[in-house]
Amino acid sequence: EQLLGALQGDPALYAGRFFGNGRGLTEAYRLKNEAFSIFGQIDFEVTDRLTLTGGLNYTKDKKRFSTDVTSDEVFSAIPLSSFVTPATQLFVAQGVATAINSVAPGTIPSGIASAAQIASFAGGTAPFGNVLTPGIYSGTIVPTATATAQGLLALRALQFLPPFQNVPNAIENGKVNDDNVAFALSANYEITDTTSVYLRYATGYKAASVNLSRNSQPTAPALAQLVAAGLAVPNVAAGSRFAGPEDSTVYELGLKGNWGWLSANVALFKQEIKGFQSNLFTGTGFFLANAGKQSVDGFEFEGRMKPIDPLTISLAVTYLDSKYDSFLLSGVGDLTGTRVAGVAPWSITYGAQYDHEFDNGDSLILRADYHYESPFMLVEGLPNLVVKNPITGAVISNTPAIQAARDFKQSVNDLNASITYAMDMGLEFTIWGRNLLDDRMIRQIFDSPAQIGSISGYPNQPRTYGATVRYRF
């Protein structure tokens, strides 16, 4: 407090004002969304077995959003980078005074050398520079003062409640408007009465998403305009206010069969999304961004069989090969060519249910299911681990942020089971168990708030048993 105050000419300026009780962030957000859609679909039976389908959809979306966020935490509002130069000058003056007083005690009683004394010392001229060890100024005092002043920037980690750049403002209007026309074309051919094949081509649309969290920040171009106009609040950084709309295209080829006791569906597909909306949780809020292009190639299988009347067995298998074809401006830098986080390459689900009905109308239901997901990354990266220039904030390297996320791959092995006795009069008793294998995993990771370099996460639920009583009427 005294140092920062002294650098502004008053050592008592911040006395007792840092990290006071009851100080913090007051948040209020408003969003108004208006949307309408017009759609229609036509089926045309070319033959008894061939059907062509066409669909059209028009959507218009309009969002108006505003923020009213205030911070009364004084320390978080101090632009520490602007103190580096005056702090360096102060520490140099103190270092010179210490050196001079060491050979001429009491020469500078204040402990802070004047500009003339520093010039004499640095230039090696009388009365001080010619009686001290040559090079001590440039070789020791200046580097030490510079390093000490740079240490002020480490205190940024404690500025986790900085002033908020509210919107709308003179540069940002807090409005998002977009519309889209999407369509679908498909052909379905019944090979037999129980088997059909289909081909489908469709486009899709997702409206813009607004960031209503404390991580809502102006984009880099908007921030530059705010700074130029003198409207930027202290310590504001570039970020995102919203993610723009995304447009998708899907190609799908599938086969469906239903033979009574056995049914199966198989589909091959390719999906491309332009402007994919990425949502990265940062621990205190969210960072929204649009990828240039994201694509997924994959297939799905769904099967169901009843070998005997009370028993139903199901199987679902999905394979997804997902990647960012282009994503230059993610929350952790360029992710072009990398896999999409949160998407397991393989997902397999088995299920079985045995339903026995007694003569009195009561039923005994036994059910078990198992879900597996192959290892996948939880997030693409961790923003707080991006290496930046401490003065300008320019990105030096995003490799640590991306590598840290890759070290946290997870898989899923989830087994659940239940036994239910259902009475004909509506009363049900169930004993159940979830995650019976007690598979432990981290479901989400994020940068720890106010702890640069630390990572936090949310674990899944451990093995859990329970009982439920339900009455249906």
Q: Which residues of the chain fall below pLDDT 70?
A: 124-134, 390-393, 450
pTM exceeding the 0.85 threshold for the entire prediction: no
Structure tokens at 288: 């929204």
Structure tokens at 144: 């030490």
Convert the pLDDT of each residue in 115-143 to its tens digit: 888 888 777 666 665 556 657 888 888 88
Burial of residue 12, with CB atoms counted within 10 A of its CB: 0-12 exposed, 13-18 middle, 19 or more buried: exposed
Q: Mean pLDDT, the chain, as a whole number?
A: 90
User: What pLDDT, on a 0 to 100 scale, did the predictor assign at position 131?
Assistant: 57
User: What pLDDT, on a 0 to 100 scale, did the predictor assign at position 134?
Assistant: 59
User: What pLDDT, on a 0 to 100 scale, did the predictor assign at position 30?
Assistant: 96
User: What pLDDT, on a 0 to 100 scale, did the predictor assign at position 453?
Assistant: 76
Domain boundaries, the chain: 38-67+180-471, 83-155
User: What pLDDT, on a 0 to 100 scale, did the predictor assign at position 381?
Assistant: 87
Convert the pLDDT of each residue in 364-423 to its tens digit: 999 999 999 999 999 988 888 888 776 666 778 888 888 888 888 899 999 999 999 999
Contact 303, 259 (CB under 8 A): no
Query: How far apart are the two ends of the chain, measured CA to CA in Å?
Result: 67
Convert the pLDDT of each residue in 414-466 to its tens digit: 999 999 999 999 999 999 999 999 999 988 888 887 677 788 889 999 999 99
| Gap between the Cα atoms of 115 and 121, Å rounded | 10
The beta strands (E) that lie in 1-144 are given as: 25-26, 29-45, 50-67, 70-71
* Helices first, then strands: H and E counts in the chain: 7, 23
CATH code linked to domain 38-67+180-471: 2.40.170.20
